[in-house]
Amino acid sequence: MHQTTLLSVLGAATAVLGHPLKHNGHAGNATIKCPIVFDGRIKTASVLADFDSYSTSIFNPDYVKGGTLKWSEIIKFPNTGANARFDDADYKPFEVTLSDNSIFQTQKGFRRAGLQFQGDTNNDSPAATGIKTIHFSVKQDAQRPLNLTHEYLNVWHEAADYSANQFNFEVGTILGQTGLPKNTFKVLNRQNKQIWSTPVEKSDWQNFAITLDFNKNTLQVYYSKGDDPLKSVTQAVSNNNAGGGQYQIGLLKKPTGTSDVVNAGYQESKINEGQIYGSLFIEDSAGGCVSL
């Protein structure tokens, strides 16, 4: 190739890819004021392959995903125009995607990809004791929309014996609760009863925090949009937080038309869906500390 042509091609590529921060608009400027227990924020310099190895990923590289997929194939780094509030210039958003290959082990009913923090052990995790707050922001990808005819679990904490989830952060049509609107994010308690919901925004960041008090068995939800500081939107409501277990962040899409959601039911083929995340971390809320 002629040299000037090559240079102009390289120049064009740089303009398109840009600097990660410039490319992604302005950085977040909210301050984390409590000790971080698990940091799920993705460094601006991270590459997708970092998700595939214990030495470079902040998450478990082997779970919870389709066996034929690597995390580097599941995660995308989307251009969101702006970072989420707690993602300053050192961090960037990431997206968890689902495809027809998102089948974990033999769970053919689900399409799922869920990140677990490295160190968040199923028993005796530091994040399942005392008072802890999980923070996450979500944004929708117009190129990979979710199909809200289905029920999705996005963020949750599953008891160590897998018998229940202490809480679920969900979107879509909740099976068996079709009276609830489908286009809302919902926080459900251990009994799968909705304790709070808010409409899904098409373009804004939506910021959530959930405080779990493992001593008093309560749960409290905080929320804001865009760059706004979080506000509590529920009281500390009674919830059974016992049973240890792990957090999971990503997407678990349930099928339709079955009572055996794990193994059976209907899932469309050729799906290409995603949920964008940012500002993901768990902080120690001892003494009532919550970063807003």
Ligand X SMILES: *[C@@H]1O[C@H](CO)[C@@H](O)[C@H](O)[C@H]1NC(C)=O
> Counting contacts by CB under 6 A, is residue 183 touching ligand X?
no
The span of 147-155, 187-195, 236-244, 276-284 binding ligand X (CB under 6 A) equals 147-155
Residue 230's contacts (CB-CB under 8 Å, 6 or more residues apart) are: 207, 209, 222, 223, 224, 290, 291, 292
Work out which of 8, 53, 123, 149 binds ligand X, going by CB under 6 A. 149
Q: What is the total residue count of the chain? A: 292
In the block, which residue shows the tokens 């392959």?
49
Indicate whether 202 belongs to the interface with ligand X (CB under 6 A): no
Interactions with ligand X, residue window 206-235 (CB under 6 A): 227
Cis link prior to 262 (omega < 30° from 0)? no
Which of the residues 257 through 286 are near ligand X (CB under 6 A)? 266, 268
Site size toward ligand X, by CB under 6 A: 9
Q: Which is nearer to ligand X, 205 or 247 (CB)?
A: 205
Check binding of 256 to ligand X (CB under 6 A): yes
| Residue 26 near ligand X by CB under 6 A | yes
b/e burial code for range 148-177 (CB count within 10 A of at least 16 → b): eebbbbbbbbbbbeeebbbbbbbbbbbbee
Identity of residue 101: N
The answer to the question of residue 31 lying near ligand X (CB under 6 A) is no
Q: Does 240 bind ligand X (CB under 6 A)?
A: no
Angle 33-88-83 from CA coordinates, rounded to 5°:
120
Contact residues toward ligand X (CB under 6 A) are 26, 29, 147, 149-150, 227, 256, 266, 268
